[in-house]
Amino acid sequence: MLLKQVFVAILLGIAGINLLFFTPHLKRARLSGAGNSALVTRFGKMVLIEILFAGLLLASVSLLTYLPPAKITARTLELTATQYVDDLKTEISISPGLVGQNTFTLKLSSNGAPVQSVKNALLRFTPHQGNIPPSEIQLIGQGTGVYTAKGTYLSLPGHWQVQAVVRRDNKFDAFVNFDFTVNSPGATNESSTIPRKAGAVLVLVGLLVGLNIIPLSAKPLIRFGVGGLVTLSILGVGLFFVTRPVAAKDGNVNPIPPNSESIAAGQAVYTVHCVSCHGETGKGDGPLGVVLNPRPADLSQHAIPGVHTDVQLYEWITDGFPGSAMPAWKTRLSDTDRWNLLNFIRTLAPKQ
């Protein structure tokens, strides 16, 4: 698609040259009755170039017709950090580093040698925002000083403190704090920087081509007029890719409007099935939720507009939240009940 836009810009530039340069010269030559073979030859070359790029444009359009649509692949934003405590070197990685299911890896070494065994190695998760109590996960040794675990302990976007606790024989307990910023699935990691980089290249090409496509010997009006036309054409294409907003990945939309009837129905479902874990205000402080590890999600934070799409929340209600006590409600609640429940959960977001 980008290549097609370049061909269009070049064709517009050639058309501008023919209109502003060759047409006046050919008209004057015809009126004066004097032939100018050099001018005709140059015009013929321009026509051939124009035909060539027109053919390339048609070929690129034909090729795009047969190519399948591009697939959007989420970028992996693995969170990593390294810290030293006394003789202990701790390296942590969290993959993919987004809200939801993650793999936590802690690599331990002392004086350059891997720490093969420890009495206890765990991670403790504390959000800097929201009202979620700290939770922790026990790491399992994999050999060569590597300890791993999986879970959904990063339950909302924002700043988190991840504390590594390592207990060894005949050593003081080591406490290492790491601070990370966790993004939502479908935020920045769903986009690609390639179109923006390509747009920046086009901006540069537009400036260079626009100023050099016309010979220095040409009249200023011709040089800057045609050069400006070409520059603006290519700049327009480039700036489109540079400044266009990142498209949010979204699937189906919520088919039920969040009116009072839907919210009331959703509240009834929430009271029966959700209060015991998430609490009346969705803070994850229900009577059953306080004994779970990891803690139930603070729905008041997840319900904030822009944090998650309706479809993402609906999928978590439908299929459950992997690695947590959140069950799948697909077989226990109807589609309408789940959408109504989602509409009610949206009302738990903090009032602005």
Tens of pLDDT along 189-217? 444 445 555 555 555 555 555 544 555 45
Which of 164, 182, 200 represents a domain boundary (last residue)? 182
Share the mean pLDDT of the chain.
Answer: 76
For 253-279, the DSSP string reads: PPSS---HHHHHHHHHHHHHHTHHHH-
Reading the block at residue 29, the tokens are 């030559």
For the chain, how are helix, strand and coil distributed in percent, rounded to 5? 45, 20, 35
**Are residues 221 and 87 both part of a single domain?**
no
Which of 155, 182, 209 represents a domain boundary (last residue)? 182
**Are residues 342 and 268 both part of a single domain?**
yes
**Are residues 14 and 66 both part of a single domain?**
yes
Q: Which DSSP symbol is given to 281?
A: T
| Closest by Cα among 246, 260, 348 to 304 | 348
Do the bridges between strand 100-110 and strand 113-114 make them parallel or antiparallel, or are there none, so unpaired? Answer: antiparallel
Domain count along the chain: 3
Is 250 among the domain residues?
no
Is 249 among the domain residues?
no
**Are residues 128 and 217 both part of a single domain?**
no
Is 251 among the domain residues?
no
Q: Who has greater pLDDT, 91 or 308?
A: 91
**Are residues 267 and 336 both part of a single domain?**
yes
User: Per residue in 15-64, pLDDT tens?
Assistant: 767 666 667 777 777 777 666 667 667 767 777 777 777 777 677 777 76
Is 44 among the domain residues?
yes
Do the bridges between strand 79-85 and strand 158-167 make them parallel or antiparallel, or are there none, so unpaired? Answer: unpaired
Partnered with residue 92 across adjacent β-strands are 81, 106
| Closest by Cα among 121, 126, 134 to 164 | 121
**Are residues 126 and 207 both part of a single domain?**
no
**Are residues 230 and 264 both part of a single domain?**
no
**Are residues 127 and 176 both part of a single domain?**
yes
pLDDT attached to residue 225: 55
Reading the block at residue 245, the tokens are 């907003």
Reading the block at residue 342, the tokens are 């989602």
Reading the block at residue 88, the tokens are 């202990």
Which CATH number covers residue 158? Answer: 2.60.40.10
**Are residues 269 and 226 both part of a single domain?**
no
User: Cβ atoms within 10 A of the Cβ of 122, count?
Assistant: 18
Place of tokens 């070494």: 109
Lowest mean pLDDT among 16-30, 259-273, 301-315: 16-30
Is 351 among the domain residues?
no
Rg of the chain on CA atoms, in Å: 31
Is 248 among the domain residues?
no
Write down the number of H helices and E strands in the chain.
Answer: 10, 10
Q: Which domain holds residue 337?
A: 260-346
On the question of pLDDT at 339 being above 50, the answer is yes
Task: Answer whether 316's CB lies under 8 Å from 349's CB.
Answer: no
* One-letter amino acid for residue 247 of the chain: A
In percent, how much of the chain has pLDDT > 90?
A: 18
**pTM for the full predicted model:** 0.45
**Are residues 86 and 164 both part of a single domain?**
yes
**Are residues 301 and 318 both part of a single domain?**
yes
| Closest by Cα among 178, 225, 13, 171 to 82 | 178
**345: CB partners within 8 A, 6+ apart:** 266, 270, 282, 299, 302, 303, 313
Q: How confident is the model at residue 350 (pLDDT cuts 50, 70, 90)?
A: confident
**Are residues 234 and 316 both part of a single domain?**
no
Is 51 among the domain residues?
yes
Is 253 among the domain residues?
no
Query: How far, in Å, CA of 232 to CA of 212, rounded?
Result: 14
Q: Who has greater pLDDT, 100 or 30?
A: 100
